[in-house]
Amino acid sequence: MKRATRLGRNAGAALLAYAFALGRAAAADDHAAHSLPPAPPPRFEAPAAGSYQLPAIDRVGQHQLLGTSGAAEPLIALKDGELALISFVYLQCGEACPLSTAMLHRLDGELAKDPALARRVELVTVSFDPQRDTPQQMRALREKLAPKGRWRFLTAANESALRPVLADFGQDAVWIPGEANAPDALRHVLKVFVVDANGAVRQIYSTGFLDTRLVLADLRTLLTPAT
């Protein structure tokens, strides 16, 4: 039974591995010498905030998930004039998820330098894998990351509770059976969504644009009233 294989690694080990991968992703991004070949630095300057448009791409609804205490929490918890960056991850992911979490971690640090902006932005990390990524595991991840600003960590009660969330966001996720005794892997396209208080999706990042300079330019573009 493949599901048993998926659950093969215990949760504590998964978190440790995720934290390790997170460190690798951060190091690779910082171009430090490391076992992973470093990604080359982007060769562009971010466009000036407010110099371009970010029309609504889509609209998502409200969903109830579980916070790190195990209590129900809304996925979108924003006031008018605020934005959320929503990222889907799972703790057994070895590469893509740590990359997006590392970007959010850097963004959390950058936002801390601009308190007025930070007050209007919330980071939200949602697990793809409710069976293994329990509220306790998500809390442990939060403690590991020690956010400076608004950053919530959510999971779902079960897969059937998660499925409509993924469908609403158009976030694909397919479990690929592992060969032999290898655990199954979740194949998904890495996406980070910028959503406003009305559920309008204003930006979607993938690996090519997980760049804090672009994200900050987009947040400022969206939060600065047009003159």
Which one of 7-15, 32-40, 63-71, 136-144 is the stretch in contact with another protein (CB under 8 A)? 32-40
Q: How far is CA 195 from the centre of its chain?
A: 13
Strands in the chain per DSSP E: 58-59, 64-66, 72-74, 83-89, 121-127, 151-154, 174-176, 185-187, 192-196, 200-205
Query: Is residue 208 a contact point for another protein (CB under 8 A)?
Result: yes
Which one of 65-73, 101-109, 148-156, 202-210 is the stretch in contact with another protein (CB under 8 A)? 202-210
Q: Binding residue for another protein (CB under 8 A) from 1, 33, 35, 40?
A: 40
Decide if 210 contacts 98 (C-beta within 8 A). Answer: no
Point out which residues pair with 205 in neighbouring strands.
Answer: 192
Buried b (16+ CB within 10 A) or exposed e, 174-208: ebeeeeeeebbbbebebbbbbbbeebbbbbbbeee
**Closer residue to another protein, CB minimum distance, 59 or 113:** 59
Q: Binding residue for another protein (CB under 8 A) from 19, 58, 77, 120?
A: 58
Query: Is residue 191 a contact point for another protein (CB under 8 A)?
Result: yes
Q: In whole angstroms, what is the distance from residue 172 CA to residue 69 CA?
A: 27
Strands in 91-219 per DSSP E: 121-127, 151-154, 174-176, 185-187, 192-196, 200-205
**Closer residue to another protein, CB minimum distance, 2 or 113:** 2
Tally the residues of the chain: 227
Interaction pattern, residues 98-127, with another protein; x per rule: CB under 8 A: -x----------------------------
**Closer residue to another protein, CB minimum distance, 66 or 186:** 186
Smallest separation, CB 109 to another protein (Å): 22
208: DSSP letter = G
Query: Is residue 1 a contact point for another protein (CB under 8 A)?
Result: no
Residues numbered 151 to 190 that lie near another protein (CB under 8 A) are: 170, 172, 174-177, 185-190
Query: Is residue 95 a contact point for another protein (CB under 8 A)?
Result: yes
Site of interaction with another protein (CB under 8 A): 36-40, 42-44, 46-47, 51-53, 55-58, 93-97, 99, 170, 172, 174-177, 185-191, 193, 201, 204-209, 214
